[in-house]
Amino acid sequence: MASLLRQGGEPPSPPQVIYTFMEAQKAHYRMSAMCRILKVSKSGFYGWKDRPPSARAQADAVLSEKITRIHTDSRQTYGAPRVHFELRTLGVRCARKRVARLMRRSGLFGCGGPRKKVRTTLRSRTERTPPAPDLLVKRNFTPAEAPQDRLWVADITYVRTWEGWLYLSFVLDTYSSRRIVGWSMANHLKTDLVLDALNMAIYTRRPSPGLIHHSDSQNTNGCERAA
């Protein structure tokens, strides 16, 4: 029964949230036990259960039906912004945040799926490795003279596509009009993604000894090398 509450937490509020949870869990836990642990009364729960839906809840139900229809007609590709636009063309006035909330409640997402925070600046597994000292570059990315292939910088970015996240690793020659000299794309953040971009740069430019290859110390391909 202790699993009803997170460790060190308090019951959620407002009461409607508690009552909704109790309704979903009544087949697994005794009502009296849930009322005691969640600090609500049985009369309050049954009063909430017998109360007709509010005007807001009824309006949400009607709007959810329209959202589901638009999402289905789009072959499940429309996200909240596009669904909101389609609703406006139909004369339905509502906030985009409301559309997003109702879509999340119904489990509806755009072609890319639910939004996730993508991390490309991973350090060690324990994240205790101190950043490498910037000994070679010294943050000087705009020198007065611009000899070719003397300083390459590398980074990784990501692009949202119909199939999910696409990761792009690139190598840029800062001394040569910031030209991209190597790049690689993949649907993962493995070492091969970075090495393919670096190997492409080496193959196409054939740099002479003295080149510095630099990347962010907190990046997945973080390093500083002189060759």
Domain definitions of the chain by residue range: 12-50, 55-106, 116-227
- pLDDT over 80 (residue 217): no
| pLDDT tens per residue across span 105-160 | 888 887 766 665 555 555 555 444 444 445 555 555 555 455 677 788 888 888 87
Provide the pLDDT for residue 143: 53
Residue with tokens 């991209």: 180
| pLDDT tens per residue across span 45-75 | 888 888 887 888 889 989 999 999 999 888 8
Distances 205 to 56, 57, 170, 198 between C-alpha atoms, Å: 64, 63, 14, 11
Whether the bond between 53 and the residue before it is cis, its omega within 30 degrees of 0, is no
Q: Which long-range contacts (CB under 8 A, 24 or more apart) does 139-148 make?
A: 141/174, 142/174, 143/175, 145/175, 146/175, 146/176, 146/177, 147/175, 148/173, 148/175, 148/176
Provide the pLDDT for residue 38: 86
- pLDDT over 90 (residue 99): yes
Residues 6+ apart with CB under 8 A from 149: 173, 175, 176, 181, 205, 207, 208, 211
Provide the pLDDT for residue 18: 84
86, containing H or E segment: helix 80-89
For residue 20, what pLDDT band results from cuts at 50, 70 and 90? confident
- pLDDT over 70 (residue 95): yes
Check residues 178 and 18 and name the one with the higher pLDDT: 18
Count CB neighbours of 22 within 10 A.
20
Average pLDDT over residues 167-186: 83
Alpha carbons within 13 A on the beta-carbon side of 187? 5
Residue 157 in tokens = 């970015």
Quote the CA–CA distance of 63 and 91 in Å, as a whole number.
12
Answer for the pair 151, 212: CB distance below 8 angstroms, yes or no.
Answer: yes
